[in-house]
Amino acid sequence: MSSVYRAITDAEVAFAADCPSRPILDQIADKWSMMVLAVLEQPRRFNEIKRRLDGVTQRVLTQTLRRLERNGMIERRVLPTSPVGVEYSLTPLGESLREPFGRLYDWTVEHAGEIQERRLAYDKRSS
Amino acid sequence: MSSVYRAITDAEVAFAADCPSRPILDQIADKWSMMVLAVLEQPRRFNEIKRRLDGVTQRVLTQTLRRLERNGMIERRVLPTSPVGVEYSLTPLGESLREPFGRLYDWTVEHAGEIQERRLAYDKRSS
DNA sequence: CTGAATCCACCACGATACTG
DNA sequence: CAGTATCGTGGTGGATTCAG
């Protein structure tokens, strides 16, 4: 098991307000960030990314890319073309995040059916 | 590597609006849900959980617990005490989610310092 | 003790229009 | 092409109060 869970006594399992994970999770644990990192297995242009993320608006994608760039996950490079192009690519840091994200993604796919069932059962009970 | 990333051609890397992972990630990939699951390594009462999640409000915690229950991650059991108590515990489904969540948590702790540096550098550049 | 209910402020997002 | 700017709005969260 991972460090949060292993070999800790009862009283220690808690999340203090200053736990270093909290501001980070706030910034990167959203669905668009996850999808952007997944799609950047190779450098891609802005609209290329946008096309692959069904439903994202231009505004939100821009914000997401900025936040990922600020946190060192991706790099933004302006191409000397006409009209201008912008290429985004993963940094080593961003690359290292793809594995835990991938695990989570795999989990959702694997358990999507069961979750759906549970949800239906719950809604039936409380109706 | 995990299934999203491996052995797929260029054109296939995309997230359709009906990708099964998306509604699930919307429901479970928030920081409070992650912390609740982490804290529930054993059954716990409402206020017990609340105390361990520094900064969560009663309202938000209630909503989080309901959503986790609805999705089959946790079970809610009313204790025949006076005054009434409510105990929350993980289901096998919720238990299985702790591993991917733990990985992500570990990643944030491990890279917190580097992220902080990148952020400072970025802010300095764009000021 | 464990919520449910209410009120309110904020901002996150969608839509749209404009620009280098 | 890759944004920025602006506006309008729904939803989310905080604070507080009430209840079983």
Per CB-CB distance under 8 Å, the chain A contacts of B121 are 72
Q: Is the CB of B17 under 7 A from strand C?
A: no
Mean per-residue pLDDT for A53-82? 95
Answer whether residue B61 shows pLDDT above 90.
Answer: yes
Q: What is the largest CA-CA distance in chain B?
A: 61
A35 to chain B, closest Cα gap in Å: 7
Three-class secondary structure of residue B1 per DSSP: coil
Residue B31 pLDDT level (bands cut at 50, 70, 90): confident
Sign of CA pseudo-dihedral A75, A20, B93, B76: negative
Q: Say yes or no: B41 contacts chain A, CB-CB below 8 A.
A: yes
pLDDT of residue B37: 93
pTM for the structure as a whole: 0.86
The residues in B 48-67 lying below 8 A from A, measured between CB atoms, are 51-55
Cβ contact, residue pair A24, B108, below 8 Å:
yes
CA–CA distance, B38 with A27 (Å, rounded to integer) = 19
Min Cα–Cα distance to chain B from A122, Å: 6
Cβ distance of A21 and B69 shorter than 8 Å:
no
Q: What is the DSSP string of B39-94?
A: HTTS-EEHHHHHHHBTT--HHHHHHHHHHHHHTTSEEEEEE--SS-EEEEEE-HHH
Whether the pLDDT of residue B82 is over 60: the answer is yes
Q: How far is the CA of A76 from the C1' of D1 (A)?
A: 15
Q: Could you report the per-residue pLDDT of A4-60, keeping only the tens digit for each?
A: 433 334 445 567 666 778 888 888 888 899 999 999 999 999 999 999 998 999 999
Predicted confidence band at B14 (pLDDT cuts at 50, 70, 90)?
low
Q: Within 7 A of a protein CB, which nucleotides of strand C?
A: 1-6, 13-17, 20
Q: Do the Cβ atoms of A34 and A43 come closer than 8 Å? A: no
Which of A1-15, A20-34, A96-110, B48-62 is predicted least confidently?
A1-15
Q: Is A7 left (phi over 0), alpha (psi -120 to 50) or beta?
A: left
* Nearest residue on chain A to B111, alpha-carbon basis: A93
